[in-house]
Structure 1
Amino acid sequence: MKQNRRYFLKKLGATGAAAAISPLAFSGEIPDKNFLERDIAIGTANDAPINLALIGAGIMGTEDTNSALRHANVKLVAVCDLYTGRLESAKQKWGTNLFTTKDYQEVLKRKDIDAVIIATPDHWHKQISIDAMNAGKHVYCEKPMVHSVKEGMDVVNAWKKSGKVMVVGSQGVSSLGNEKAKELLAAGAIGDIVYAEGFWARHSPEGAWQYNVPKDGNEQTVDWKKYISNTNARDWDPLRFFRWRNYLDYGTGMSGDLFVHLFSSLHFITNSKGPTKVSSMGGLRYWKDGREVPDVLLGMFDYPETPEHPGFNLSLRCNFVDGTSGTTYLRIVGTKGSMDVKWEEVVVKLNQNAESDDPFLIEQAKLRGATEESRAKILPPRETVYAAERNWKGAHYDHFGNWFNAIRTNGTVAEDPIFGFRAAAPALLCNDSYFQDKFMKWDPVNMKLI
């Protein structure tokens, strides 16, 4: 039986959180690193074939398609993009027999297509997702799921009605690191969560959205009218097409592009539905290129006590200035310690003076003849590292594997539209708080503004 979930070499059992942190803690051999792996394969070569189409063949669409095609029995049938150059490039990369078009409706009409990847600018995510599911296609939609909070329930309702599998593309949800962090937090490894923080930094031109503008990018090679047909009418502007993330009509700023990954990971690990209060500040400090969104952004979020977790606060920060391109982390702080969580690694750090009340530790101490006084001071190891094995194919690969498994087995995925909307909403509200200069109130259970 195939599984959507990921499993690890070190599993938690009745021995409790301390034993989970270090299975060798009582043999006198405290390991520096524990390796993460899965016990159950994502897919097999005997799986039913899936015919795939790509809508939006830019940087992320190309990466998504390459990851998808690493899986057995997945075939790319069609590619849609509004720029002729990308359609020509698609045939060079993936085969001259591809069907290519600038009209995504032509893709959705094809009966030989089972599923679509939507990697367009954010302002087209909602409509193409809905149209695709209404046409009977399964959907992989890049994050954020929608361009504004008001669009979210339209996608959720279309998904519920369609019966199709839709997954949102925050790949960290399928990572070994997030899965292990979820397991450890549930076992009480760092106590009760009280605070979390996340950080993204980029400086390289492409990382800061200074994407290349091709020499042949013009009104003859780009369907500009279609591109802006669901937003404000404007004269042709190559920067607004090729560097779309810099403009509010099409993108969602740093929070929609990057914070949403951190929300997705945090919500997966904690089972949270989201914050109830959102605030942000920042500014345009470095990239003086006419962009409409800040290049330094700080967000603060209040998570109330719920049946899933205690109340805690979250701070997120992002900048395109400091030169540490690609730096990212999520830290979860609890009453007994903290976890630094990356997609391929988790580092657990315990408070220096934390005393263990784990019955397994106490029993082991008794067997070694420890006195009651010394037993009271038994400490689990202060730092333990969990890292993915070198042969792990990565979160991006597994995110597609989970989607394909769900399609083939009529199953489910962790990052469905409800999860995806709850991750997108606080990111989008972070923008609203910045531009409106006020706190934003959110109901994460009913998924609506207050």
Structure 2
Amino acid sequence: MKKQRRSFLKNLGLAGATAAIMPSAFASETKQIKFLERNAANIFGAKPLGLALIGAGGMGVADAKTALEHDNIKMLAVCDLYDGRLEESKTRWGDDIFLTKDYKDILKREDIDAVIIATPDHWHKQIGIDALKAGKHVYCEKPMVHSVEEGHELINAWKKSGKIFMVGSQGLSSLGNEKAKELLAQGAIGDINYAEGFWARNSPFGAWQYPIPPDASPETVDWQKFIANTEKRPFDAKRFFRWRNYLDYGTGMSGDLFVHLFSSLHFITDSLGPNKVSATGGLRYWKDGREVPDVLLGMFDYPDSDQHPGFNLSLRCNFVDGTSGSTYLKIVGNKGSMDVTWDDVMLKQNEVAASDDPFMEEKGREQSQTRSDRKKILPPSETFYQVEKGYKGAHYDHFANFFQAIRTNGQVVEDPVFGFRAAAPALLCNESYRQNKFIGWDPEKMKVI
């Protein structure tokens, strides 16, 4: 029955994904998004969407800037616990912007339709729930929650709210992910049996050594609000500005980076997630008092399901990578493989698979017409798909999908259920690493076994 289901999915193909005809470029979805946005005022009413930013650090500012690239969006308020970021917000978005150190002040405002939550991870759940209860749509940075125990509470709050909740793993809205999903559904690499992902960095900032402002102090930082839901400690500027290094506030390499790879993989394969999690690693370079490893390896078992056959996944992170600092996701099947980024897909096939792509069919015919009497060693057939010039990227498209869902009362792919299924195995990597053992996970019920 499961094989019949998978065969049906492949024959059905991928509704709504980017259809590729030319091998070197994706058919443009960007033009359609632009059309919808430029006509948003006419189609959905002239009132702009009122937006607020909660957490104005590096990622929060990047999110806000991307959101404001879209038409009919207005930034109305910013919340942060550091004075310097509030002052910078006035420079970025005008002196009339509403500034506060208490996010609840923002939730009380009737002119705010949606909030971006870009705080440290340990505040995602509570601010998310409070925002939903206040009738706000939410764009929440990944990981959706700080611990597995928080997942169902946030999911339940979202279901009761009737609001849009988008988790910020932007790769899901990329043309690269969409093309890979389409190719897998068409059977281009056969049945998946293995996947691997690698995320590497080689810079101080990439290893979370963020700059600490010279005026950082209890007078400029609301430290008590920052630690209100965790262990009480005296003011520590490193913990505030380099919070990803500490488990009270962050979720380590797995919560920051593995979750992106899980999100992309689950989107491409329609998977609900693994049923066994294991991780190992260590502090190999950054001897700076951090509580999380700077090299992390994860191994995961994915069970046979209606969506896909059983397969294995391996993930790696390295924060002192002396090579290229590369990032990739490879998906391997019994007929070929795909190297997937947010902007391109390299398809390699050991045998020519059936396809609706005329280029691939012609390539297969060429390979079958060998004129030499002596057979040659041939490499796998390679087809490279790349976004067309001018593509604004996954981050832009992710917000396009978020705003479109708000305006049409629609849905987003990365809702809290999807977001939790990506976050949970990443967070369980930390537990496996800490406890030095395998951890069982029920991907359907979303519970630790």
Normalising by the residue count of structure 2, what TM-score does the alignment of the two structures yield? 0.89
CA offset digits 1:165-211 (Å, max 9, x no partner):
00000000000000000000000001100000000011211100000
Q: Calculate percent identity across the aligned residue pairs.
A: 68
In structure 1, the partner of 2:447 is: 448
Query: How far off is 1:10 after superposition?
Result: 1.5
In structure 1, the partner of 2:199 is: 200
Pair 1:173–1:356, CA change in 2 (3 A): closer
CA offset digits 1:214-271 (Å, max 9, x no partner):
0011100100001000000101100000000000000000000000000000000000
CA offset digits 1:352-371 (Å, max 9, x no partner):
xx255679999989x99x99
Gaps of 5+ in 2: 1-14
Does residue 1:8 correspond to 2:18, yes or no?
Answer: yes
In structure 2, the partner of 1:341 is: 340
Query: How far off is 1:95 after superposition?
Result: 1.0
In structure 2, the partner of 1:255 is: 254
In structure 2, the partner of 1:94 is: 93
Aligned residue runs from structure 1 range 131-210, under 5 A: 131-210=130-209
Pair 1:81–1:356, CA change in 2 (3 A): closer
CA distance in 2, matches of 1:399, 1:330: 19
Which of residues 26, 29, 53 in structure 2 aligns to 1:35?
26
Gaps of 5+ in 1: 12-22, 24-30
CA distance in 2, matches of 1:259, 1:356: 31
Aligned residue runs from structure 1 range 363-378, under 5 A: none
Query: How far off is 1:37 after superposition?
Result: 2.1
In structure 1, the partner of 2:407 is: 408
CA distance in 1, matches of 2:316, 2:362: 43
Query: How far off is 1:325 after superposition?
Result: 6.3
In structure 1, the partner of 2:50 is: 51
In structure 1, the partner of 2:103 is: 104
In structure 1, the partner of 2:329 is: 330
Query: How far off is 1:327 after superposition?
Result: 1.9
Does residue 1:430 correspond to 2:418, yes or no?
Answer: no
CA distance in 2, matches of 1:360, 1:78: 48
CA distance in 1, matches of 2:284, 2:379: 45
In structure 1, the partner of 2:9 is: none
Pair 1:421–1:363, CA change in 2 (3 A): closer
Matched-pair contact (CA < 8 Å) for 1:356–1:380: no
How many residues were matched structurally? 418
Does residue 1:319 correspond to 2:318, yes or no?
Answer: yes
Q: Which amino acid aligns with 2:173?
A: S
Pair 1:326–1:170, CA change in 2 (3 A): farther
Query: How far off is 1:381 after superposition?
Result: 7.4
SS at match of 1:40: helix
User: What is the root-mean-square deviation in Å for CA atoms of aligned residues?
Assistant: 2.4
CA distance in 2, matches of 1:224, 1:360: 57
In structure 2, the partner of 1:28 is: none
Pair 1:205–1:272, CA change in 2 (3 A): same
Matched-pair contact (CA < 8 Å) for 1:52–1:117: yes
SS at match of 1:250: coil
SS at match of 2:233: coil
Query: How far off is 1:94 after superposition?
Result: 1.2
In structure 2, the partner of 1:19 is: none
Query: How far off is 1:44 after superposition?
Result: 2.2
Pair 1:46–1:40, CA change in 2 (3 A): closer
CA distance in 2, matches of 1:237, 1:301: 36
SS at match of 1:35: coil
Query: How far off is 1:322 after superposition?
Result: 1.4
CA distance in 1, matches of 2:223, 2:356: 66
Pair 1:85–1:6, CA change in 2 (3 A): farther
SS at match of 2:38: coil
CA offset digits 1:391-430 (Å, max 9, x no partner):
1111000000000000000000000000000000000000
